[in-house]
Structure formats: C-alpha cells, structure tokens
Amino acid sequence: MLGYGFMGDAHANALRTLPQFFPDAPEVSLDVLVGRDAAAAGEAADRMGFSRVETDWRDALDVDVFYNLGPNSVHVEPTVAALDAGVHVLCEKPLAPTLDGAERMAAAAAASDAVAAVGFNYRFVPAVRYARELVEAGELGELRHARFRYLQDWLVDPDAPWTWRLDADAAGSGALGDLGAHSFDLARYLVGDVDAVSGHAETFVDERVPEGGGDPRPVTVDDAFAAHAEFECGAVGTFEATRYATGRRNQHAFELDGSAGAVRFDLQRLNELEVLRGDGRGFETVLVTDDDHPYGEQWWPSGHALGWEQTFVHENYEFLSAVADGAAFEPDFGDGLAVQRLLDAVAESSDRREWVAV
C-alpha cells in the first residue's frame, strides 16, 4: 500500500473488517507500507498492521496486489510499473493528474493480465446500487434529466491553509477532479456515457498560507465548477462541485428523472433512496438495509444503518474477489479513463467558453 493518510486508513479499516462480515472474502496479508518518511510510515504500519516499511515504491512490488493511495501526482509511474510486473492494482481516483497520464495507465492495464481497479467507492453504496437496479429494470422509464452535485465547505474560510490538493502539479485539478470525478463516474454508472459538455471552472482565493506557516503559496486549481452535459441516451445533465458551499460538509447528491419515475439520493443520508413511481404523487423514502437490498444480508438486521466506511468494505470485497477468481472488476481503468476525458473536456470548455465533444 502506497500512502497512509485518509485513504490509507479507509482501506486498511476495510481490510480488517472483511473477514468478519464477508467470510468468503480472500484471505489478505498486509505486507508492506510505502511512505517517504520512514519513521512516520513505521508508526502507520504498526497502527494498520503492516509487516514492513519501504520508502521507495520500487522496493515494494514483490506482492500480489498494490494499492496506490498517494497524491494524484504519484499515480502514474508506480501503477504502470506494477501492472507491467503483473501485479494487481487498486488506484484511487482520479486516475491521474492529466489525460496523458491516464491514457498511459489504461494502456498498461490493457496490456497486463492483472486486475486494474480505480477507487470510485460510491458505486458501492447500497442505495446507489439499488438506484441502478431500478434504472436497469426500467422502473424509471426513459431517463430525461440527471443532476449531480458534490458540495463541501472546507475552503470557505479564506484563511484555511494551503495543501497539496490546491496545487495543479500534485492534484491535476481542484473540485473538478477531486469531487467531480465521483459525480461523473456515478453518472456513467447510472445513466450512461456523455457525448458533450459545457463547463465553467472558477478559483475564488488565489493564494493561501501552508498549515505550518511561511510564505503564501499560489492556488493553481479550480475551487468550483459547474457543467451542462448531453448524455448519449438523450438525457440532459447538470453537474456542480465546490469546496465553498457553506454548511455542506460532504453533500454528494444526485437526482434522476424519467418518464415513469424518479430517484433522489444524498450521501449525507446514505442509507436512504427517495423513489417516485409512475403515479407522481410524491416520493417514498426507502431505507436500503433489507436482506434483499445490495449487501444487506452481509450486515446487521434490517433498519440498522451503515456508514461511509462500509463503502470501502464492499469495494475491497469485490476487488479482491475478482483478483482471487481471475474475474473482471468494475470500475476498471477504462472507466477511470472515461472519467478523465470528461474532466479534461470540462476544463477545455471552461477555457474556450464553448461546448466540447467528449
């Protein structure tokens, strides 16, 4: 595992949880944790349960599975090397800081026999998977509108510190790649491919002081974006993501309107899916925790809610099972590349101030 921050904790927790609730999950040995600071990585390895530490990822590819959870700027080279060596990979999103990097990674995945997974964990929310079941069963009819928004507020304060996520060289983009990537993946998962986009990106604060103090550093990524989209199926789409939505801690939401029904979802109430059926007399709130709901039989009795961390348990279960069984996994690097093309198209549209084909 490369990286032991936020995503490292999320995946390590999922790997520890798997045997208790998914007894048929493959057995996992946590071998090596990679970090630039040997002392800090050693502390993290002890906490997470890894056997050893390396400070160079090149010394850590003698494994079956490689998790690339580092900043976006270190996604490409280690991942390509792992795939070239036949090592299975789960890489966090977005696939790369640039479209060229994502294309390299997707090409390496296509040339390898290894499973290559991209970490779009929101596909594994039971309510999201239930929404997809309704769409695929035709319960919503012909999809006409698809609205996606991902709103956070951690940069509302102009004195909030500078981080690597505000640097284009490290992150690639801001709210667009960090948040919008999740929305674009769910849009493809639930609605289908996008043909064209018209987007606008904006940066509100041009520089910030790092947390440890010192001189201000420039903010070289977008703080927010909005986009219109034409879906291949004919639906009209809208997308919005920002880190400046006052009071919204982590509101990842979507609405799908069809000719025979509609659904609404908000990650802040992740166990619920609001469903409107054909009579149009109001939405029903479905608590997606029953045994016949996605992943329902693996957890607690009906009505006992799950949390954000369980999305990673589901993701890791599906990924590691695909590795063990020699099966396909989605979302794969083809999905990651498709999302990267959408991110690139929105950025280009914002620069050119015109519609861009994807």
pLDDT in tens, the chain (358 residues): 999 999 999 999 999 999 999 999 999 999 999 999 999 999 999 999 999 999 999 999 999 999 999 999 999 999 999 999 999 999 999 999 999 999 999 999 999 999 999 999 999 999 999 999 999 999 999 999 999 999 999 999 999 999 999 999 999 999 999 999 999 999 999 999 999 999 999 999 999 999 989 999 999 999 999 999 999 999 999 999 999 999 999 999 999 999 999 999 999 999 999 999 987 789 999 999 999 999 999 999 999 999 999 999 999 999 999 999 999 999 999 999 999 999 999 999 999 999 999 9
Instruction: Determine contact, residues 289/283, Cβ cutoff 8 Å.
Output: no
User: How crowded is residue 160: how many other Cβ atoms within 10 Å of its Cβ?
Assistant: 16
Q: Which residues pair with 93 in a beta bridge?
A: none
**What pLDDT is stored for residue 281 in this prediction?**
81
Q: Where in the chain is the domain with CATH 3.40.50.720?
A: 6-122
Q: Specify the CATH class of 6-122 in words.
A: alpha beta
pLDDT of residue 178: 97
d(CA 277, CA 141): 10
| Dihedral pair phi/psi, residue 43, rounded to 5° | -65, -40
106: helix, strand or coil: helix
Nearest to 344 by CA among 196, 208, 231, 232: 196
At residue 278, the pLDDT reads 81
Sign of the alpha-carbon dihedral angle for 94, 177, 232, 254: positive
The token pair at 168 is 């284009």
Q: Where in the chain is the domain with CATH 3.30.360.10?
A: 124-357
Q: Give phi and psi for 29, each to the nearest 5.
A: -110, 125
349 within 8 A of 198, measured Cβ to Cβ: yes
* pLDDT computed for residue 319 by the predictor: 98
Contact 26, 324 (CB under 8 A): yes
Pairing of the two strands 88-92 and 217-218: unpaired
* Inter-residue contact 345 to 199 (CB < 8 Å): yes
Kind and range of the H or E run holding 288: none
Q: What is the 3-state secondary structure (H, E, C) of 8-74?
A: HHHHHHHHHHHHHHCCCCCCCCCCEEECCCHHHHHHHHHHHCCCEEECCHHHCCCCCEEEECCCHHH
| H helical segments located in the chain | 6-21, 38-48, 76-84, 99-111, 126-136, 168-171, 175, 181-190, 309-325, 333-352
Show Cβ contacts of residue 133 under 8 Å, excluding neighbours closer than 6 positions.
294
User: In DSSP terms, which residues pair with 202 in a beta bridge?
Assistant: 224
Buried b vs exposed e over 327-347: b needs ≥16 C-beta within 10 Å?
Answer: eebebbbebbbbbbbbbbbbb
The superfamily CATH assigns to domain 124-357 is Dihydrodipicolinate Reductase; domain 2 (3.30.360.10)
Tokens 């900043």 found at: 71
